[in-house]
Amino acid sequence: MTDELSVVGKRMKRTDSLAKVTGEALYTADLKLPRMLHAKVLRSPHAHARILNIDAGKALRLPGVKAVVTAADGHGINWGVFKYTQDHPMMAIDRVRYIGEDVAGVAAVDEETALEALDLIEVDYEPLPAVFDPFEAMKEGAPLIHEQYARNINVHVHIDVGDIEEGFAKAYLVKEDTFDAAGEAYSTLEPYAVVAHYHSGYLDLWMPNASAHVRAKALSNLLKLPLNKVRVRHINVGGHFGSRSEVSPGDFVTALLSMKTGRPVKLLLTREENATCTRQVHAINATIKTGVNRDGTITAKQFKVIYDGGAYSSTGPIATSIPYYVYEEAYRLPNVRYDGYRVITNKGIRGMYGCHGRAFLAGNEMQMDTIARELGMDPMEIRLKNGLTAGEQTATGSVIRSGGLEEPIRRAAEKSGWKDIKEDRSLGKGKGMGCIAIMCGFPMGFRSGSACYVKVNDDGQVTVVTGVIDTGMGNESMVIQIAAEVLGVPVEDVNLVNADSEVTNLDPGAYSQAAAFVGANAVKRACEDAKSKILAFAADKLKHPAEDLDLKDRMVVSKTDPAKSVPMRFIVREAFFKGTPITGTGAFMPDIDFQREWVKNPYGQMAGTFSYGCSVAEVCVDRETGQIAVPRFTAAHDCGTPINPMAVEGQIEGSIHQAGMAVLMEETRWSDGHLLNPDLLEYKVPLACDMPHIETVIVCSNDPEGPFGAKEGGLTARMNSYSAVTCAVQSALGVPLTHLPLTPDRLLKAIGAGKTGGEK
Amino acid sequence: MILPRFAFHKASSIDEALALHKEFAGNALYLSGGTDLVPRIKLRLAKPEALIDLKGIKTLETVEQDDRWIRIGAMATISDLMKNPLVAEYVPVFQASLESTSCETLQMRGTIGGNLLQNTRCLFYNQSEFWRKSKGFCLKVGGEKCNAVPGAAVCLANYCSDNAAALLTVNAEINVAGPEGQRQLPLGDLFSGKAGRPFTLKPGEILTHVLIPKKKTRGGYEKLRLRGSVDYPLLGVALSSGNEAVRLAVGAVGPRPYVFDMAGWEEQSLHDVIAQAKATARPAPNTVVETAYRRDMIPIFIERLAKRLAGEAK
């Protein structure tokens, strides 16, 4: 299909790349506004304490300090993604619940003065007993961190489909295992930053975010400002991965300081603050029970999963659900019960993550391998047997509209030479396969859809206005390609105005892999709308039926008669003359069940479509040192159609890095409430030299509704590459692996425990 | 994290540097590449009134040789030394340790003098002032407790120079210039063995040169780390043999590198030195892997390195 296209489906340098690699692209920290002040935040040194008094008098008297704000400057409104999770005051009111929590903000003429002022703010704390482990936190008598969450259980997601008792009863083989994974850090290269500028009743803001509209709405609520007075503006974002999803305390503090001083204020978090005081990734403990028939068909699954949520809800209901959903979207589960518990602890807040759920997902896949081995099946065969196909429904009732697991599995197996990869325990060589499906979008109410405006300018060039945001994955380049394709112009003729809450219309943002399927669909429709107007004008001018006309190379051309053509700009100018300039609008709302709710009603259509992927890792384990080498990694991803194959490959490669190699080393380490590695030296993000040789395979299922058949581009590897690596290590060693990441010390323990029949 | 204010002076001679140090009454620190010191100042682990930059002292950048010594200026960068033919020819152990030091960009910045004088490290110590204050100050910053090992009477921070371990196996010496003149001492005497204050240098003294005996050696260095680059060692093992002696050094498992002489290459000597090394090392739970693991890797790393070198010799 892409053969007939000029721009879509072609390998091209992303439109944002040059500015980013040359350093020309501006990020929030680069912004300088006239009279701008600099902010710093006073943070809680206690994991849990009552605030008895805050005295900022001395700080305010320090020359150069222009304002101090505390919770008293706000409206006492708690933030929560859902009504039932509104528990985070953004600045502590009378209680702090983790080390690093925002207590007060200072704006001063420079950062040094602001820092000096922090030392002059006097806070009286009464320390309270704290709890750091979710299992301890759930015990009777544990310190209660929020009154409303009994036993500190913040969210309980309960899903029950079919009859698991019957499913297990009729199973030929039943396995139950518990897997544990440390939390992770997003490690965005851009530490969090905010610039707020309150003027003439308007609050303009720049910050790394995942949706200008969602951020503006949250701030309008928290600050009690009308939504049209809060404007989140476009700025480059240096990494997201889930970390920039929600309104941040920094937004609130900086906005208050700007409103109080009437001057622009900039807040830059340090790397340490970014790691400790912005939301990071859940540690997870997953108990997985699986029943299968003699032929490997899953008969029942039961899950109990504990998520260490830190001090506040964040995206809790979503984070407590997603690992399960991406699993049920991949495999046929006739009987299943899922109980996910997110538990509050006195640690930094945990949120959603692009690679979320490794204990659960890698655990399921490792267990599936153990089952396959006992049944004498190839790990690929058992996955093929249980993989969902197009037309089927997931356990909770989502119809799979395109793709399915089979094609990615077969293509990954073929590319990697799966059947021929030698497993040799004596040499520590193993291979592993990981599969997953990903929703393209999920229910976000009326924000689940996207709308786009396009105008064609008097020189025949195009301006596209869309809420689609690019947090690094290439969404901007993607929608430019789509507009160029539809309107028959080169990509350099398309200007993009995006991710600005004032100028653009609603869009689901970068939360749920919706940009290609939803946002780009709206862009395509808006461009088609403009195109139909151009063709109608041209039909009149050329005296030729519009149905036979098309746009190509900046020209209106006949599909059948090469003599019939006219430059597009002539038509556009004529439209101006007639008082009907060429504009287009387009919107797309995916077919989702809006009765669905994460906790109250977890059933119905989750997303408009799903992507599918399969990864294959080859490993070589040093049994004496526990060190793991990954010489080769293959990933097949069904993105429907690649808008830009090079960008899809880049996403897959990044995913292998962030999940596949990370599972060997990435973990947040704690000493009670203190994060021990809030830096990029001791938090081990894999380096270029640690990466395997990568083979990527793009599978094209051509989604019937996706723009040019497209679905999301690359996230499956983010949620299955750790499974491929852990399965490969398990196959290389022949011992169960229950603790992630697979650092060499953990691996030697697992080898030792394997000799004595399992790790305790 | 921003730097606090301090005075900055760039010295163009050793005498000038010493005079500046005197001027600030000891509340000044010497700066070379800054890859250890600048992050320490950002974390407020050091709060100097002034920094005295030694990079302007051109005589400290050179590598010279005479009949007895290869004489390396302390300001020579890791990267320059890696490319130096004398290093490759005479001290392969040093070549290997230089190559495994940090990463390419920092190798271009960091100097050998600064690398040897890097402070000891601990997950509970290399943290911001906010972090350390809220945790309660530890022994190394004058507090009353060890946060890594509750109840420990002394600081257990780790000395992490890859190159110190390597240079100790070839009997390197150092030149030091101070207010009271110059002195030459064995590299091993630089280390106090105390993690809190790891070096024996007197106030104001400058490490000016590293001297390596100009004798051909065979040797190698093996480093345990989680990633292929950047990381400090979790364990470093250096081994060299000259005409008569075989010498082993084990680093990053205590406040200084530990040096052991081996009787020879045979199995029994290896066995003995491994037992000694394992008994002497003092790894503590202050890194990202478990202490027992680091201890368990000592025999494996020594044995593998020894066998590799013995194999190369054949």
Give B174-186 pLDDT, tens digit per residue. 999 999 999 999 9
A561 Cβ under 8 Å from any chain B Cβ: no
Cα separation, A746 vs A738, in Å, equals: 9
Nearest to A684 among B2, B103, B227 (CB): B227
A678 Cβ under 8 Å from any chain B Cβ: yes
Cα separation, B140 vs B137, in Å, equals: 8
Q: Which chain B residues are Cβ-neighbours of A743 within 8 angstroms?
A: 226, 288-289
Note the pLDDT of residue A759.
45
**Distance (Å) of CA A409 to CA A370, A744, B89:** 19, 30, 53
CA distance B123 to chain A (A): 6
User: What is the length of chain A?
Assistant: 760
Q: Is A391 exposed, middle or buried (0-12, 13-18, 19+ CB in 10 A)?
A: exposed
Q: By CA distance, what is A45's nearest residue in B?
A: B134
CA distance A5 to chain B (A): 43
Cα separation, A217 vs A203, in Å, equals: 12
Nearest to B130 among A43, A626, A676 (CB): A43
**For residue A741, is the peptide bond before it cis, meaning its omega torsion is within 30 degrees of 0?**
yes
Residues 6+ apart with CB under 8 A from A295: A375, A385
CA-closest candidate to residue B230, choices A746, A687, A420, A618: A687
Q: Cβ contact (<8 Å) for B293 and A665?
A: no
- Angle value at C-alpha A616, between A612 and A619, nearest 5 degrees: 155
Alpha-helical segments (H) within A337-378: 358-375
Q: Cβ contact (<8 Å) for B288 and A115?
A: no
Q: Cβ contact (<8 Å) for A676 and B228?
A: no
Predicted ipTM > 0.90: yes
Q: Cβ contact (<8 Å) for A687 and B290?
A: no
Cα separation, A148 vs A83, in Å, equals: 13
**3-state SS class at A10:** coil
Is the distance from CB of A379 to CB of A178 less than 8 angstroms?
no
Q: Cα torsion at B87, B90, B93, B94 (round to 10°)? A: -30
Across the strands, what pairs with A555? Answer: A552, A567
pLDDT digits (tens, 9 = 90+) for B229-257: 999 999 999 999 986 789 999 999 999 99
Cα separation, A561 vs A555, in Å, equals: 14
CA-closest candidate to residue A645, choices A709, A692, A696, A609: A696
Q: At A304, list the tokens.
A: 């109990």
Which of A679, A680, A685, A747 to probe the B interface (max B CBs under 10 A)? A679
Q: At A281, list the tokens.
A: 């990734």
**Distance (Å) of CA A201 to CA A204, A227, A228, A258, A631:** 10, 12, 10, 11, 58
Q: Cβ contact (<8 Å) for B123 and A676?
A: yes
**Distance (Å) of CA A498 to CA A371, A503, A615, A623, B158:** 49, 8, 34, 52, 50
Q: Cβ contact (<8 Å) for A665 and B135?
A: no
A626 Cβ under 8 Å from any chain B Cβ: yes
Q: Cβ contact (<8 Å) for B227 and A687?
A: yes
What's the distance, CA A130 to chain centroid?
A: 30
Continuous segment of H or E residues that includes residue B53: strand B50-53
CA distance A61 to chain B (A): 21
Q: Which chain B residues are Cβ-neighbours of A671 within 8 angstroms?
A: 124, 135, 147
Q: Which chain B residues are Cβ-neighbours of A674 within 8 angstroms?
A: 131, 134-135
Nearest to A625 among B5, B288, B297 (CB): B297
Query: CB count, 10 Å around CB of A416?
Result: 25
Task: Provide the angle, in degrees to the nearest 10, between the axes of the packed helices A715-733 and A744-755.
Answer: 40
- From chain A residues 261-320, the ones with a CB under 8 A of any chain B CB are 270-272
Sign of CA dihedral B300, B303, B307, B313: positive
Cα separation, B187 vs B182, in Å, equals: 15
What's the distance, CA A24 to chain centroid?
A: 26
Q: Is A408 exposed, middle or buried (0-12, 13-18, 19+ CB in 10 A)?
A: buried
Give buried/exposed letters for A613-637 (b at 16+ CB in 10 A, else e). Answer: bbbbbbbbbeebbbbbebebbbbbb
Cα separation, A256 vs A203, in Å, equals: 10
Is the distance from CB of A317 to CB of A149 less than 8 angstroms?
no
A684 Cβ under 8 Å from any chain B Cβ: yes
A624 Cβ under 8 Å from any chain B Cβ: yes
Pair type for strands A65-70 and A102-108 = antiparallel
Q: By CA distance, what is B291's nearest residue in A?
A: A745
Cα separation, A89 vs A111, in Å, equals: 25
**Distance (Å) of CA A592 to CA A319, A393, A403, A607, B204:** 19, 14, 18, 5, 72
| B contact set with A (CB within 8 A) | 1-2, 4-5, 103, 123-124, 126-128, 130-131, 133-135, 147, 224, 226-232, 288-290, 292-293, 296-297, 300
Nearest to B134 among A99, A624, A625 (CB): A99
A78 Cβ under 8 Å from any chain B Cβ: no
Cα separation, A67 vs A55, in Å, equals: 13
Cα separation, A650 vs A642, in Å, equals: 12
Lookup result for tokens 């692209």: A25
Q: Which chain A residues are Cβ-neighbours of B4 within 8 angstroms?
A: 112
Cα separation, A16 vs A21, in Å, equals: 9
Q: Cβ contact (<8 Å) for B227 and A686?
A: yes
Across the strands, what pairs with A549? Answer: A558
Which of A671, A683, A685 to probe the B interface (max B CBs under 10 A)? A671
Q: Which chain B residues are Cβ-neighbours of A664 within 8 angstroms?
A: 226
CA distance B290 to chain A (A): 6
Q: At A202, list the tokens.
A: 């308007």
Note the pLDDT of residue A757.
55
Q: At A28, list the tokens.
A: 């929030």
Over chain A (760 residues), the average pLDDT of each successive run of 10 is 82 96 97 98 98 98 98 97 96 98 98 98 98 98 98 98 98 98 97 98 98 97 98 97 96 98 98 96 98 98 98 97 98 98 98 96 98 98 98 98 98 98 95 98 93 97 98 97 98 98 95 95 98 97 96 97 95 97 98 96 97 98 98 98 97 98 98 98 97 98 98 96 98 96 98 70
Pair type for strands A280-281 and A350-351 = parallel
Q: Establish, for the pair of chains A and B, how many residue pairs have beta carbons separated by less than 8 Å.
A: 74
Write the single-letter amino acid at B186.
P
Q: What are phi and psi of A209, to 5 degrees?
A: -145, 170
- Computed over every residue of chain B, the mean pLDDT equals 96
Task: Provide the angle, in degrees to the nearest 10, between the axes of the packed helices A358-375 and A379-386.
Answer: 110
CA-closest candidate to residue B126, choices B49, B223, B232: B232
Cα separation, A645 vs A14, in Å, equals: 11
Q: What are phi and psi of A647, to 5 degrees?
A: -70, -35
Residues 6+ apart with CB under 8 A from A373: none
Residues of chain B with pLDDT under 50: none
This prediction has a pTM of 0.97
Note the pLDDT of residue B234.
98
Note the pLDDT of residue B26.
80
For every residue of A542-584, DSSP letters joined together read: HTS-GGGEEEETTEEEESS-TT-EEEHHHHHHHHHHTT---EE
Q: By CA distance, what is A114's nearest residue in B?
A: B2
Q: At A269, list the tokens.
A: 């978090």
Q: At A24, list the tokens.
A: 């020309």
